[in-house]
Each structure stands twice: as structure tokens, then as C-alpha cells.
Amino acid sequence: MGKWAQQRKRGSSVGIHLPPPPRPVLEDLGAEILQTATGLDDTGGTCGLETSEDAGLTWDPAGSSPWEDLFIWGASDDYDGMLLRCRETGNGVTYSGDSPWSFILDLT
């Protein structure tokens, strides 16, 4: 039996595909902007935020931080007049790649 056939037969992890993280939720709590993870623990991954001041035609990176299940991006007033979206990047163990973008939060 060849090397690859033996690994498959033994249940090796060769070729295992990790899914992307699920879409996070982005909320305006009145005083703060909160990103909430909707999946499993993704410690080692990241949270990312983008803003748009032109109705979503272009998006600018607004920050990236180590993953937390609840992450506060700052005061709502700091983003007044903008559209916001966030996503999660997997840690390579639980998830791989980027989640879909959150639904857009409109602070205009």
C-alpha cells in the first residue's frame, strides 16, 4: 500500500478541510459597538472591522484585534455617520479563513 493510501486508511488528518467561522453579529448598544461571535471558541483568530463613509461603495479597515467572543470596538459616537461591518478570521484549528461579513450596521 502506498504512503497516501496508508494515511487515509489509518484516519490521518491529511486533507481535512476546516470551515470558515460563522457570520458574527455587529450591534450598536447605544453607547458602544459590540461584535459577538456566533460559533465555537476561536482563540488565536482575529476580529476585524471596516467602515464606509460613502454608502458602502468603498470600505476602509478600522481595526483588527485578537479574537474574543464579545468584542467592543469603542464608542458609538466615534462611528457617527458611517456604515460598519465586521468579520472573524479563523485560528486554523477550529476554523480556517474569513467568516462572511456581518450584516451592515448603519450609523448614518
Q: What is the pLDDT of residues 3-20, one digit of tens each?
A: 555 555 555 555 679 999
In a domain, 6, yes or no: no
Residue 49: inside a domain: yes
pLDDT surpasses 60 at 27: yes
Does 11 fall in a domain?
no
For the cut 80, the answer to whether the pLDDT of residue 29 exceeds it is yes
Reduced to 3 states (helix: H, G, I; strand: E, B; else coil), residue 77 is: helix
Tell me, yes or no, whether 5 lies in a domain.
Answer: no
Residue at 7 is within a domain: no
Q: Indicate whether 30 belongs to any domain.
A: yes
Higher pLDDT, 84 or 2: 84
Q: If we measure between CA atoms, which residue out of 19, 31, 11 comes closest to residue 78?
A: 31
Q: What residues make up the domain containing 71?
A: 18-106
CATH number at residue 53: 2.60.40.10
Indicate whether 2 belongs to any domain. Answer: no
Count structural domains, the chain. 1
Q: How confident is residue 51, by pLDDT bands cut at 50, 70 and 90?
A: very high
pLDDT number for residue 16 = 79
Q: Does residue 85 form part of some domain?
A: yes
CB-based contacts of 76-82 (< 8 A; 24+ apart in sequence): 76/28, 76/29, 76/30, 76/31, 76/32, 76/33, 76/107, 79/33, 79/51, 79/107, 80/107, 81/53, 81/107, 81/108, 82/51, 82/52, 82/53, 82/107, 82/108
